[in-house]
């Protein structure tokens, strides 16, 4: 890959940008402007992969000559998708539903290379929530305000106290960008990494 090739994160998420800075010193961010619609009957992992690729391709279409990274995360509570709550009420409701149960997070990353070829990986993280009281949930939501996070928590902050267990291969996936897979896909696209 040319040393001048631009790398773009197809996201305005500061969580994903902070993660990507672990791998890269220089990259741009661009809003993909994609509609994150659901397709009835679509499996959560398939939805995450589809949306990650759609984001990467949307930005790549406007920036030829760049390597573009797209990502998406879908939280699945026994068949129910937990989107970003947006409101305090919705966050309380999601956390109450997750109490004592397992939520599976499907975090997809897609890299579109200089030729326009897309490669996608989906990481799966299983999170077992401890039993949460109404007071636990209220204190947590008040302190963290996790309204922009799928599943209504921030595992990189106080959200870790809500869990009994996390099972995964890549701890960064739960934050929103699986760096092990991202590094592999970037290397395949010709990006030089350690």
Active site residue 167: no
Question: Alpha-carbon distance 121 to 105, whole Å?
Answer: 13
Question: Alpha-carbon distance 77 to 101, whole Å?
Answer: 8
Closest CA to 75 of 41, 108, 32: 108
Task: Give first-to-last CA distance, the chain, whole Å.
Answer: 15
Burial of 26 per CB tally in 10 Å (0-12, 13-18, 19+): exposed
- State both tokens at 92: 């309380």
Closest CA to 10 of 151, 108, 155, 152: 108
Point out the catalytic residue in the list 72, 76, 113, 123.
72
> Which active-site residues does the annotation give?
72
């Amino acid at each position: 890959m040319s040393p001048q090739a631009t790398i773009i994160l197809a996201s305005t998420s500061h969580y994903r940008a902070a993660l990507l800075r672990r791998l890269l010193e220089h990259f741009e961010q661009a809003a993909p402007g994609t509609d994150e619609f659901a397709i009835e009957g679509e499996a959560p992992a398939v939805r995450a992969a589809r949306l990650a690729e759609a984001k990467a391709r949307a930005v790549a279409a406007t920036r030829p000559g760049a390597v573009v990274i797209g990502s998406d995360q879908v939280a699945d509570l026994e068949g129910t998708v937990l989107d970003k709550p947006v409101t305090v009420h919705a966050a309380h409701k999601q956390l109450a539903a997750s109490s004592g149960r397992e939520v599976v997070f499907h975090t997809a990353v897609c890299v579109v290379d200089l030729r326009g070829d897309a490669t996608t990986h989906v990481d799966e993280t299983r999170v077992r929530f401890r039993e949460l009281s109404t007071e636990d949930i209220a204190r947590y939501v008040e302190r963290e305000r996790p309204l922009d996070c799928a599943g209504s928590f921030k595992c990189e902050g106080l959200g870790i106290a809500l869990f009994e267990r996390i099972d995964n291969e890549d701890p960064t996936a739960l934050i929103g960008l699986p760096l092990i897979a991202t590094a592999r896909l970037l290397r395949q696209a010709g990006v030089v990494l350690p």
